[in-house]
């Protein structure tokens, strides 16, 4: 299977919702609020997508200043395409686009708690967060 990766493709909020639902990450995102999902797409700085022909099968959505820090806000691969290296490649393209000056941090979903060590991330114990209230 030949998967194409893109950091230029523009996707809609509806496409974003579809791939998150296909991955199961939709359970942990406000997918019922399409306007909010569209805003998440519109205001992201880097969206790397994976395509099987015309079908969107994976996405990595990052917020960054392109110079020091980056936050990997969503990483999702369609369940029928998982464990084929697509997530790893989405991260690789994201890192390549960010360059060496940016660190990349994330909040792991429970289902992916053991994943990130396999794809180059170090676990950090000095992370803190203020949770969203809505």
Ligand X SMILES: CC(C)(COP(=O)(O)OP(=O)(O)OC[C@H]1O[C@@H](n2cnc3c(N)ncnc32)[C@H](O)[C@@H]1OP(=O)(O)O)[C@@H](O)C(=O)NCCC(=O)NCCS
* Planar angle of CA 73, 79, 80, nearest 5 degrees: 140
Contacts of 34 (CB under 8 A, 6+ apart): 13, 14, 17
Note whether 83 binds ligand X by CB under 6 A: yes
Note whether 132 binds ligand X by CB under 6 A: no
Site string for ligand X, 11-40 (x = CB under 6 A): ------------xxx---------------
Note whether 48 binds ligand X by CB under 6 A: no
Shortest reach from residue 116's CB to ligand X, in Å: 8
Q: Which residues of 87-106 are buried (b: 16+ CB within 10 A; e: fewer)?
A: bebbbbbbbebbeeebebeb
Site string for ligand X, 49-78 (x = CB under 6 A): --------------------------xxx-
> Torsions phi, psi of 63, nearest 5?
-115, 130
User: Site for ligand X (CB under 6 A): which residue of 41, 48, 64, 87?
Assistant: 87
Shortest reach from residue 2's CB to ligand X, in Å: 15
| CA count, 13 A, side-chain hemisphere, 44 | 27
Shortest reach from residue 114's CB to ligand X, in Å: 4
Binding site for ligand X (CB under 6 A): 23-25, 75-77, 82-88, 108-109, 111-112, 114-115, 118-119
């Amino acid at each position: 299977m030949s998967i194409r990766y893109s950091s230029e493709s523009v996707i809609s909020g509806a496409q974003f919702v579809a791939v998150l639902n296909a991955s199961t990450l939709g359970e942990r995102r406000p997918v019922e609020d399409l306007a909010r999902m569209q805003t998440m797409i519109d205001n992201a700085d880097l969206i790397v997508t994976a395509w099987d022909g015309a079908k969107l099968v994976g996405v990595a959505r990052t917020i960054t200043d392109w110079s020091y820090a980056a936050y990997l806000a969503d990483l999702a691969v369609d369940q029928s395409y998982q464990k084929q290296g697509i997530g790893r490649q989405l991260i690789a393209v994201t890192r390549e686009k960010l360059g060496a000056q940016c660190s990349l941090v994330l909040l792991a979903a429970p289902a992916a708690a053991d994943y990130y060590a396999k794809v180059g991330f170090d676990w950090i114990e000095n992370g803190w967060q203020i949770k969203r209230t809505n």
